[in-house]
Amino acid sequence: MKELREDVQEAGKITGKARKEIEKTIGRKVADKNNYKNLTDKSTKKLGYK
């Protein structure tokens, strides 16, 4: 479990850096109070496993 926790934490750091880089490039937040509801809407189709 310790290795999995470390992997998850490292993945979080990597995705955080990527999000910040994207936001810097496009000049705005990726997720904000205006689009957050759309990102978490239950009716949004989710990718499934095959």
pLDDT in tens, 1-50: 889 999 999 999 999 999 999 999 999 988 887 777 776 666 666 666 65
List Cα–Cα distances, 14 to 18, 24, 35, 39, in angstroms. 6, 15, 23, 21
Instruction: Give pLDDT tens digits for 12-26.
Output: 999 999 999 999 999
The pLDDT, as a whole number, for residue 21 is 97
pTM for this structure? Answer: 0.60
The pLDDT, as a whole number, for residue 26 is 95
The pLDDT, as a whole number, for residue 40 is 67
What's the CA gap between 43 and 31, in Å, rounded? 18
- Residue with the two structure tokens 């109070």: 33
List Cα–Cα distances, 37 to 31, 34, 47, in angstroms. 10, 7, 18
What's the CA gap between 33 and 9, in Å, rounded? 25
